[in-house]
Amino acid sequence: MIKVIYHQDFTQVYTSDPAAAAGRMEAIWKVIHNQVEKVDASPALPEQIALAHTPAHIDQVFRRGLYDIAALAAGAAVQAARIGLQEPAFALIRPPGHHASADQAWGFCYFNNMAIALLSLHNDGLIKQALVLDIDLHFGDGTVNILGNQKWVQIHNPDARSREAFLTEVEQILSGIQVDLIGISAGFDYHQNDWGGLLATEDYSAIGFMVRKASRTCGGGCFAILEGGYNHQVLGYNVSALLEGLSG
């Protein structure tokens, strides 16, 4: 069973935005709970968060009363990345993170979960090269802001107008890579019944399988963290499909 890092606190409604909507986590957990091994999430350490964000930004998140939930999400991402070095893992978290830059954030994000995870592992000497595959409908500008100038990280945001072209682009991105770890910023708002109206549920399984295959080929690991996805009726099935693919 694939390990899923999760915490009951993620079910709370911490703001009024769609990523914090009541029932979002429950809709996912209801579908996947019998096919996964749950790992309790732990908050990211202050020094881990500080690898990606300025003191002023961290203080702003704290003053908004969102530090605890944002730190818990970031910590779960770190856990998923560490587990991912040995076996695929998924961080079922909110708030999402890929619109959080070093000193500001928007798009329902506060801390950049992916950046904190990869910087933490790199800082600890656990990885030398990494690749971020961001499959969210929206461009992961925060991840690029924080990691874009790091020579040890590749960041890719596929952008296509058909299912076939999207999957082909993912395949091309993963072809011949040599990295220690692949991290998926797993947004599901590209789905046919979500905001993007493009991908089918089975496409997420194909993406997961391609990532798992690529990681095995280069001798690295892989993990994924939840970003967008707002149709609760299909969200759980899309997550389940990705996990099925990652499980090989």
Q: What is the pLDDT of residues 15-46, one digit of tens each?
A: 999 999 999 999 999 999 999 999 999 999 99
Q: Is 156 a catalytic residue?
A: no
Q: What is the mean pLDDT of residues 69-80?
A: 99
Q: What is the pLDDT of residues 204-229, one digit of tens each?
A: 999 999 999 999 999 999 999 999 99
| Token duo for residue 85 | 């070095």
Q: What is the mean pLDDT of residues 56-63?
A: 98
Please tell me which residue in 53, 57, 98, 99 is annotated as part of the active site.
99
Q: Give dist(CA 35, CA 173) in Å, integer.
A: 29
**In terms of residue numbers, what domain contains 164?**
2-246
CATH number at residue 38: 3.40.800.20
| Number of domains present in the structure of the chain | 1
Q: What is the mean pLDDT of residues 67-80?
A: 99
Confidence at residue 248, expressed as pLDDT on a 0 to 100 scale: 87
